[in-house]
Chain A
Amino acid sequence: MTPSGSAGTGAPPIGGGGAGGASPPSVLNCTGSLPLAQPRAWRLTTTQIVNTLRDQFGFVPPSVGSLPADTRLDGFANQSAKLTISPFLAETYFAMGHELGANAVANPSRFGITCDVTKLAPGTCLSGFLNTTGQKMWRRPLTPTELSSLTTLFTTTSGQGGPTAAVTSVVQALFLSPNFLHRTELGTVAQAGAVTPLTDHEIASSLSYLLWDSAPDDELLSLASQSKLRDRTVLIAQARRLFEARDRSGPAINNFLQQWLRIENLSLAVKDAAMFPMAAPEIAEDLKEELRLYANSILFDVGGDRSFKTLFTASYAFVNARTAPIYGLTGVTGNALVRRDLDRAQRRGVISMAPFLWGKSHASETNLVGRGAYFRAELLCHRVPLPAGGVPPGAFAPPNSTGRQKFEIHSTGGCASCHQLFDGIGFALENYDAIGRFRTTEYGQMIDPTGTLPLPSENNALPGMAFSNFVDLVDKLAEKPDLYGCFAQQYTSYAAGRDLPEIDACEKKAIADQFAQANYKIDELMLAVVGSPNFVDRKN
């Protein structure tokens, strides 16, 4: 059944809603054309640099290991406004460029050098090298001016060490160029206030970096050269082609899902060994793999319906000998992860599975408030701000209190106005301990997983949607629009490289509506993003 109402409609603005989050829903007037984002240059992420070099040249420079993780704050780690090139990054890129250049000398044919590299000189062979490597790296044909500059650089550096050294220098320069390190969304129109349609090659890069985290392949570049990618039919067909190439689209989607669920650093969520003797460190990688296989089973495997609803509500998992006990499963041996059905009375969907529960828990305690606040912010797209003056002091609960007993203080006074928005979710999730095992008692006391959840689509009216436990919460929420509208927004944000508040509300609504009309098929959500006006046009 498809929930009634337009997904995402009526939700309060992200980050808004005040302390109680109970402001009236914003009234959207979304008639007319959608506003367009401004032109920009968007630095490649480390993953995208690595994938690009791997796919184009079969080589990954070893110095990439020196690069630290990109910052992730308020949303995803790929936000264009945050991706800069500090001195440390520039130095590391410089080293990577040199390593790539040395690889070109060792493997000239991969770089389009069809003659003896030691005798390379201006002429046909050099032009072939510059055209081939230039296009592979900059994802577009180089202009005559650019080719001329590179030829000059080759000639200059050849005089400073010979042709092989010059090849290295030219490749290094191509790497350090903003044309490699950034993809552009500029188009060709510079007039202030005017719409600037993106070039076909810009669209090709947007598509391939969104769906593959890598450079466009020959087919995309060929279509771009024929100026066919602004044809919506062609564009959507290409998006489908890229999505169906699961070996390349799967990791890109997984990257998004890991960040959405905040489990990319799962190995840092170490558990208390005394309390959880079975929580071996290698389980972190098992759980990340579990999420990947779970998503793949829905998106790519035979029988997968590609529905976000399934992702949110299914009751099976991929386990090995180490992780099966988390689900109370027996008879699973070895390292390989195998699919097993879970107890439907206990588990429902990705939030009730170990990767999330393990990652979103402390070493020994569960993180009741954190789990609930995450759910509200990232699954309902309602970021409830912390009190401006900080958390007021409270008192310790008696030892061996249940989670609910510890945080009952939130239900009184000023705390309640915010905590009633998400503590109920946390109470329901108390049925899962800090490593994700199902439990009904804590410190010998029965866990009470009941609660209520005010919904953004219902103007956060109190007390909200009642549920008897987390499974019930999932089943009921799956029939509401909030969840789907929010997931559509999250993917739109990731695809745009902009945090949620920076994306126009009508664009979010339009994509959420298409997602709903497509019965929450995740591949259709991706196509809705690709089909959005912002995918092909900018406004100065």
Chain B
Amino acid sequence: MRNIKFSRRSLLRGLGYGTPLCAGLTKNLYAQTAPRITRVAMFAYANGSHYSSEPTGSGTTFVLRPHMAPLEAIRNDIIVFKNLTMIRDGGNAHRGASFSVFGLGNATSVDQLFATHLKSTTPLASLELAVGQTSGDGGVIPGLSQVNGSFLPGAKNRVAAYQRIADRIPGGAPPPSTGTPPMTTPTEAEQALLRRKSVLDFVKEDVRTFRGRLGSAEAARMDFYTESLRTLERDIGSIIPTTPPDPAMPPTTPTCTKITAPTLTTRTMMNDMPTHSRLYLDVVAMAFACNVTRVASMMWGGGENNERIKFGNIDISAWHSVSHGDPDSGPGQQIINMQVYFAQEFLYFVQKLKGMSDGAYSLLDNTAAVLCTQNGSSQLGTSANFAATDHPPQHAPFVVAGSCGGAWTTGRLIDVGGRNHNDVYVSIARAIGMNVTTIGRAAWCKGPAIT
């Protein structure tokens, strides 16, 4: 055990970081002004869904199709949608979906809008994770979040994904791989921190000078880099060891616990999903429980991903190709199996949040967790045209779990009558405190879908 005696708060003050910024590292400021700290997790999988995925029934008596059957266990915690359109622009279906599944018709994706709204309250504004990537004519896109039209690469390396969160949880020095050496004495710890600040101050000033030579578009990219550097700056508090606890600071959330670090550093491919996906879900849950971030997005294979996937009862020779196979025979069953798998993963995540306390509520109560596909259902009337259709955006399977701080009632089906997924995110945006009536492209919105 390390024997750290100095006061984190006094050190932070000494570094010129007043409490407003750094207090947010371990104690969410939002908690002081709002009764509920809300979070948003967004999950999307590639290549559309089977044509008969959409739930039936209405209201609280909805019936899940086999594709979503695992979610029956949490039916009272979810809202399922009917007649929902995953709208996208024209052109290649997968390319269009890569932009619109989280982009909602704008150059900056909705998770990044949420992150911008909430960023001052947590060390990390957002967390992006990815298993697999897009391929083919949809381009090569390593994630679905985007800022000003540039995609943010999701962490695909297990260790890197874990480390981003674990290093920001008080309770131990980060390992060497983060670039900060182990801190064995208060002096060394303090000095390492001071050097880190010195380096960042230098670089920020350097960026400012560099930016002065650039035109507006170029300067905007430098501003984005500055914003990224600020994320590193916000870390300054969180890497200080907390043994013994500083009595001046409130305790961390009871369910905030570091999970076991992974050791495998291989880049995640689709076949790795059974082990990697669960780790990533645990990392998101850890990040939420420890208030390291309040916004997470994850991609399970990007558009037109054509990798081989073989585990459990899934044996897909090439995912995208199979998605265009006969829906009423082997290929269709494989797509259903994939959807069941993703539903199981979502179930695992939701139940995990449900088991974590967040004050008087569960973490799930304060979260909106979205499960969707990048494309809609291929339901255009009959199964016969499945293979020839181009992943039409209509009738998309779409689930929201949790009530995002009590913003709505769960356990029901909402028939949105063909409206776009933007409107679901309008509801989520309002639940996290954004005063909006549209989000993404305004023309794609009609108002909150969850009322």
**Contact surface of A with B, Cβ cutoff 8 Å:** 38-41, 43, 62-63, 65-74, 77, 81-92, 94-99, 149-150, 153, 156-157, 160-161, 165-166, 168-169, 172-173, 176-179, 182, 184, 186, 190, 264-265, 268-273, 362-365, 370, 373-374, 385-391, 393-396, 409, 540
B140 interface residue per 8 A CB criterion: yes
> When the two chains form their complex, are residues B90 and A363 in contact, meaning their CB atoms are under 8 A apart?
no
Chain B residues, Cβ within 8 Å of A70: 142, 153
CA distance A265 to B307 in the complex (A): 11
Which of B124, B149, B194, B318 is the most central at the interface, judged by chain A CB atoms within 10 Å of its CB?
B318
Contacts of B305 in A (CB 8 A): 268
Show 27 A/B contacts (Cβ-Cβ < 8 Å), sorted by A: A66-B155, A67-B153, A68-B155, A70-B153, A71-B141, A73-B141, A73-B151, A84-B224, A85-B221, A85-B225, A87-B124, A87-B125, A88-B152, A90-B231, A91-B178, A157-B194, A161-B194, A165-B191, A265-B135, A270-B307, A272-B318, A386-B92, A391-B389, A391-B390, A394-B385, A396-B326, A396-B387
Q: Which of B148, B180, B381, B388 contacts A98 (CB 8 A)?
A: B180
B388 touches A68 (CB 8 A): no
Residues of B within 8 A of A395 (CB): 384-385, 388
Kindly list chain B residues whose C-beta atoms are within 8 Å of the C-beta of A394. 385, 388-389
A540 to B141, CA, bound (A): 32
Please determine whether A390 and B388 come into contact, CB atoms closer than 8 angstroms. no
Minimum CB–CB distance for A59 against chain B, Å: 15
CA distance A53 to B307 in the complex (A): 33
Which one of B203-211, B252-260, B352-360 contacts A?
A: B203-211
A residues in contact with B152, CB < 8 Å: 86, 88
Q: Smallest distance from the beta carbon of B443 to chain A beta carbons, Å? A: 15
Chain A CB count within 10 A is highest, among B159, B221, B229, for: B221
Please name 9 further chain A to chain B contacts, defined as beta carbons within 8 Å, in addition to the given A86-B147, A95-B179, A393-B381, sorted by A numbering: A68-B142, A73-B140, A81-B150, A85-B225, A99-B179, A173-B206, A176-B199, A268-B305, A387-B90
Residue of A nearest to B187 (CB): A161
Known: A41-B210, A157-B195. A86 touches B388 (CB 8 A): no
Asked whether any CB of chain A lies closer than 8 Å to the CB of B5, the reply is no
A88 touches B153 (CB 8 A): yes
Q: Binary interface profile of B, 316-338, with partner A (CB < 8 Å = 1, else 0)?
A: 01101100001000000000000
Residues from chain A with Cβ under 8 Å of B61 in the complex: none
Distance in angstroms between the alpha carbons of A77 and B142 in the assembled complex: 12
Chain B residues with Cβ below 8 Å from A270 are 306-308, 317-318
Contact of A90 among B151, B155, B228, B308 (CB under 8 A): B228
Question: Are B206 and A178 within 8 A (Cβ)?
Answer: yes
CB distance from B335 to the nearest CB of A (A): 15
Q: Given A41-B221, A66-B160, A390-B392, does the pair A362, B321 have CB atoms closer than 8 Å?
A: yes
Residues in A with CB closer than 8 Å to B149 are 81-82
B151 surroundings in chain A (CB, below 8 A): 71, 73, 82
Do A365 and B90 have beta carbons less than 8 Å apart?
no
Q: Chain B nearest CB: distance from A281 CB in Å?
A: 9
In-complex Cβ contact of B136 among A62, A82, A370 (8 A): A370
- The interface residues of chain B, by DSSP majority, are classed as mixed
Contacts A71-B140, A173-B202, A178-B210 given; does A98 touch B179 at CB 8 Å? yes
B177 at the interface (CB under 8 A from A): yes
For A150, the closest partner residue in chain B by CB is B202
Does B4 have its Cβ within 8 Å of any Cβ on chain A? no
Complex Cα gap A391–B305 (Å): 19
Known pairs A69-B140, A71-B150, A94-B232; A363 contacts B308 (CB<8 A): yes
- Distance between A188 CB and nearest chain B CB, rounded to angstroms: 9
B225-A90 in contact (CB<8A): yes
Among B140, B179, B221, B321, which residue has its beta carbon within 8 angstroms of that of A365?
B321
The answer to whether A169 touches B142 (Cβ under 8 A) is: no
Which of A38, A41, A149 has the largest number of chain B CB atoms within 10 A? A41
Identify the B interface with A (CB < 8 A): 90-93, 95, 98, 124-126, 128, 130, 133, 135-143, 147-157, 159-160, 164, 177-180, 188, 191-192, 194-195, 198-199, 202-203, 205-207, 210-211, 213-215, 217-218, 221-222, 224-225, 227-229, 231-232, 265, 269, 305-308, 317-318, 320-321, 326, 380-381, 384-385, 387-390, 392
Would B179 and A68 count as touching, CB distance under 8 A? no
Q: Assess the A160–B194 pair: CB atoms within 8 A.
A: yes
Most B CB contacts (10 A, CB to CB) among A40, A86, A268 go to A86
Contact assessment for A385 and B306 in the assembled complex, using a CB-CB cutoff below 8 Å: no
Docked Cα-Cα span, A156 to B138, in Å, equals 49
Residue of A nearest to B231 (CB): A87
Most B Cβ at <10 Å: residue of A96, A178, A186, A389: A178
**Which of B140, B150, B179 has a CB less than 8 Å from the CB of A72?**
B140
Assembly CA distance A99 to B192 (angstroms): 14
Closest residue of chain B to A395 (Cβ to Cβ) is: B384
CB-CB under 8 A from B213, the residues of chain A are 184, 186, 190
Contact with B385, one of A88, A362, A363, A393 (Cβ below 8 angstroms): A393
A273: min CB distance to chain B, Å: 8
Neighbouring A residues of B150 by C-beta, 8 Å:
71, 81-84
Residue of A nearest to B308 (CB): A270
In the bound complex, what is the Cα–Cα distance between A69 and B128 (angstroms)? 14
A344-B43 Cα distance, complex, nearest whole Å: 50
Across the interface, which residues of B come within 8 angstroms of A160, CB to CB? Answer: 191, 194-195, 198
- Report the nearest B residue to A161, measured CB to CB: B191
Q: Which of A84, A94, A99, A390 contacts B93 (CB 8 A)?
A: A390
- On whether the beta carbons of B380 and A393 are closer than 8 Å, the reply is yes
A92/B160 in contact, CB under 8 A: yes
Tell me whether B179 and A97 are in contact (CB under 8 A): yes
Let me know if A73 and B218 touch, CB within 8 A: no
CB pair A272–B191 under 8 Å, yes or no, is no
Decide yes or no: A178 and B222 within 8 Å by CB, A90-B229, A94-B179, A268-B306 being known contacts. Answer: yes
Cβ contacts under 8 Å, B135 to chain A: 265, 268
Neighbouring A residues of B222 by C-beta, 8 Å: 41, 178
Contact A149–B93 (Cβ < 8 Å): no
Chain B residue, CB-CB nearest to A377: B137
CB distance from B301 to the nearest CB of A (A): 11
* Complex CA distance for A92 and B167, rounded to whole angstroms: 13
Check if A91 sits within 8 Å of B231, measured CB to CB: yes
Cα A69 to Cα B157 in complex, Å, equals 11
Closest 7 CB pairs of A and B: A363-B318, A98-B179, A73-B139, A394-B388, A391-B390, A393-B385, A95-B179
Which residues on the A side are within 8 Å of B229 (C-beta)?
Answer: 90, 176
> Given contacts A149-B202, A268-B135, A362-B321, is CB(A84)–CB(B225) below 8 Å?
yes
Do A391 and B388 have beta carbons less than 8 Å apart?
yes
Which residues of chain A are near B203, meaning CB under 8 Å? 173, 176-177
A181 nearest in chain B by CB position: B225
**Nearest A-chain residue to B304, judged by Cβ:** A370
**Most central of A65, A89, A168, A271 by chain B CB within 10 Å:** A65
Closest residue of chain B to A77 (Cβ to Cβ) is B140
The answer to whether B318 and A362 touch across the interface, beta carbons within 8 angstroms, is yes
Q: By CB atoms of chain B within 10 A, which of A186, A268, A389 has the most?
A: A268
Interfacial chain B residues near A264, Cβ < 8 Å: 140
Q: In chain B, what residue has the closest Cβ to A153?
A: B202
Residue of B nearest to A95 (CB): B179
- A95 contacts B178, C-beta separation under 8 Å: yes
Q: Evaluate contact between B388 and A396: CB separation under 8 angstroms.
A: yes
Q: How far is the CA of A311 from the CA of B229 in the complex (A)?
A: 45
Minimum Cβ distance to chain B for residue A106 (Å)? 13
Across-interface contacts of B232 in A (CB, < 8 A):
87, 90-91, 94
Contact present for B90 and A68 (CB under 8 Å): no
Q: Of B91, B143, B153, which contacts A386 at CB under 8 A?
A: B91
Residues of chain A lying within 8 A (CB to CB) of residue B138 = 73
Q: Which residues of B contact A370 (CB under 8 A)?
A: 136-137
Contact (Cβ within 8 A) A179 B225: no
Chain A contacts of B215 at CB under 8 A? 38-40, 540
> In the bound complex, how far is the Cα of B306 from the Cα of A365, in angstroms?
12
